[in-house]
Amino acid sequence: MVLPACAGDTAAPDPARTQNVEPDRRTRYDEKVRQYVIHDAPGIALTGVAVIDGSGSTVKRDQTVLIEAGRIVAIGASDSVAISEHARVLDLPGRTVIPGLVGMHDHTHMPGMTFMGHTASRLWLASGVTTVQTAGSAEPDTEVALVRVIAAGKAPGPTIFPTAQYLTGPDGNGPMAKPASTEEARRLVREWSARGATWFKLYRHIRPDIAAAVIDEAHAQGRKVTGHLCSLSFREAALMGIDSIEHGLISASDFVDGKPEGECVSNRGALAALELDDPRVAALIGLLVREQVTLTSTLAIIESHFPHRPQGDERSLALLSPGWRQAYDERQARLAETAADTSMTPALLAKLMAFERMFVAAGGRLVMGPDPGRHVLPGHGNQRGFELLVEAGFTVPEALRIATANGADALGIGDRTGRIAPGHAADLVVLGGDLAGEPSAIRNVEIVFKDGTGFDPGKLIAGLEGQVGLQ
């Protein structure tokens, strides 16, 4: 149950209380955003909660988390944390507090819809996602504009790290950038860096020489590069200095015998035949770890291609427009028809999950994002991704670290968010239930704090029913 707002939530800061402390770092929201806010006191204490802090440590029970001016200032056993008499106390037994989720493959578009950033931003925040890296943009200028609108307090949403145009080769998708030379590629990187893009994404048909130029120029501009690869092997991209690779094993062409250099060819047969004890697998993982390449788990969208797996749940389907719901029903019918002869088998999904465990066990940094599409929606897909990491064999604290602190570290902001620790931004999620014992509690979002301001997830979602696919 979400606790109602009270008069104390909007009281002006007490001068005596704010002397010799950090300035208030909370965003000043305009009136149309404040309709979603339920807790806005300058000091808030969350008491009696279980805490999973994002570090990978086990759950701590009966904790108090103290927030001041948008920052976490204390965390500890409830009988040991001193609470200011001016703080708004929220007594929350039976709840779990976690860091805000950090989505690392969170588009502001979905296939068939070039921009849904405002809808996505509400869904992200309502689902406990407080930071996203979009990992590819269909409308990058619009995406950068959304970043500024949210930062100015004129729209609700997470902190967004925007991406430039996708970069691909001559055989790639139509609307993507297809630089014909390394100099053109460098120029595009410089231009988009100046326009506000923080990441660049290489797509499936990218030429090796273009990829190398993009990575080099992006790093010169203080930007980062990820890739949904095919023409490039993971090994080639790692040796070029790529920062991150999307989707995990399912997009690797490293095991395709006789693959022509720079060409995108199907890897389906190679993956079906691949055994994870093949020495080539350990060698590839070792290289990725040594080169400090981050891998992004996108199990939520991957699951949607497997006929033996759960598909859209009612809460997500209720948000789809009639046209998108019809498309979902038709897609499910086709999936059922091909179930008997599909290559998307339970054994393949288990292999993809096991590869992610092996990568982490070897010391690799795994992050997570949903890759919104089909019925995998912003926010809901992040939650499903967390559940699938647990199914893959990670403990709840390990899966939460992948979904929070690891993403923050990959973005270069791990000293500011992604963990529940003194001095970090109060990007927090209050969940109903015991997440440590029941991973599905990740869906029970009661309050989302963004820089110390508490948002009501129900209010954020209200009015979006039947709208995904329209806006």
| Residue labelled with tokens 């992006």 | 218
Q: What is the pLDDT of residue 112?
A: 83
| Average pLDDT in the chain | 93
Query: Which CATH code, of 3.40.50.300, 2.30.40.10, 3.40.50.2000, 3.30.40.10, is assigned to 7-99+419-460?
Result: 2.30.40.10
Q: Are 466 and 318 in contact (CB under 8 A)?
A: yes
Assign residue 153 a region (left: φ > 0; alpha: ψ between -120 and 50; beta: otherwise): left
CA distance 265 to 428: 43
Question: For the segment 52-99, what is each residue's pLDDT rounded down to a tens digit?
Answer: 999 999 999 999 999 999 999 999 999 999 999 999 999 999 999 999
Contacts of 17 (CB under 8 A, 6+ apart): 42, 43, 84, 86
Give 243's Cβ-side CA count (13 Å radius).
Answer: 24
Give me the amino acid identity at 292. Answer: Q
Angle at CA of residue 240, ends 238 and 245, nearest 5°: 40
Q: What is the mean pLDDT of residues 241-247?
A: 99
Question: For the segment 407-458, what is each residue's pLDDT rounded down to a tens digit?
Answer: 999 999 999 999 999 999 999 999 999 999 999 999 999 999 999 999 999 9
Q: Going edge to edge, which strands form the sheet with 244-246? A: 244-246, 294-297, 366-368
User: Residue 3 above 50 pLDDT?
Assistant: no
Lowest mean pLDDT among 5-14, 175-184, 215-224, 377-386: 5-14
Q: What is the pLDDT of residue 224?
A: 99
User: Residue 100 above 90 pLDDT?
Assistant: yes
User: Residue 145 above 70 pLDDT?
Assistant: yes
Q: What is the pLDDT of residue 22?
A: 56
Angle at CA of residue 328, ends 377 and 306, nearest 5°: 80
Q: Which residues, listed in sequence order, are joined to residue 450 by a DSSP beta bridge?
A: 453
Q: What is the mean pLDDT of residues 4-19?
A: 33
Q: Binning pLDDT at 50, 70 and 90, where does residue 337 land?
A: confident
CA distance 114 to 123: 17
User: Residue 15 above 50 pLDDT?
Assistant: no
Q: Are 396 and 405 in contact (CB under 8 A)?
A: no
Q: What is the mean pLDDT of residues 388-405?
A: 99
User: Residue 10 above 50 pLDDT?
Assistant: no
Q: Taking the model in full, what pTM does it have?
A: 0.93
Q: What is the mean pLDDT of residues 374-392?
A: 98
User: Residue 259 above 70 pLDDT?
Assistant: yes
Q: How many CB atoms lie within 10 A of CB 276?
A: 14
What is the domain partition of the chain in residue ranges?
7-99+419-460, 101-411
CA distance 430 to 48: 12
CA distance 434 to 390: 15
Q: What is the mean pLDDT of residues 298-305?
A: 97
User: Residue 460 above 60 pLDDT?
Assistant: yes
User: Residue 16 above 90 pLDDT?
Assistant: no
Q: What is the pLDDT of residue 343?
A: 85
Q: Are 458 and 465 in contact (CB under 8 A)?
A: no
Contacts of 245 (CB under 8 A, 6+ apart): 226, 227, 229, 234, 237, 238, 251, 288, 293, 294, 295, 296
CA distance 354 to 50: 30
Start-to-end C-alpha separation, the chain: 29
Please determine whether the domains at 7-99+419-460 and 101-411 fall in the same fold group of CATH.
Answer: no
Q: Are 224 and 199 in contact (CB under 8 A)?
A: yes
Q: Are 398 and 405 in contact (CB under 8 A)?
A: no
Q: Binning pLDDT at 50, 70 and 90, where does residue 23 land?
A: low
The two three-digit tokens of residue 72, written as one number? 């976490």
Q: Where are the beta strands (DSSP E) in 292-381?
A: 294-297, 366-368
Q: Binning pLDDT at 50, 70 and 90, where does residue 26 land?
A: confident
Q: Which CATH superfamily is domain 101-411 in?
A: Metal-dependent hydrolases (3.20.20.140)
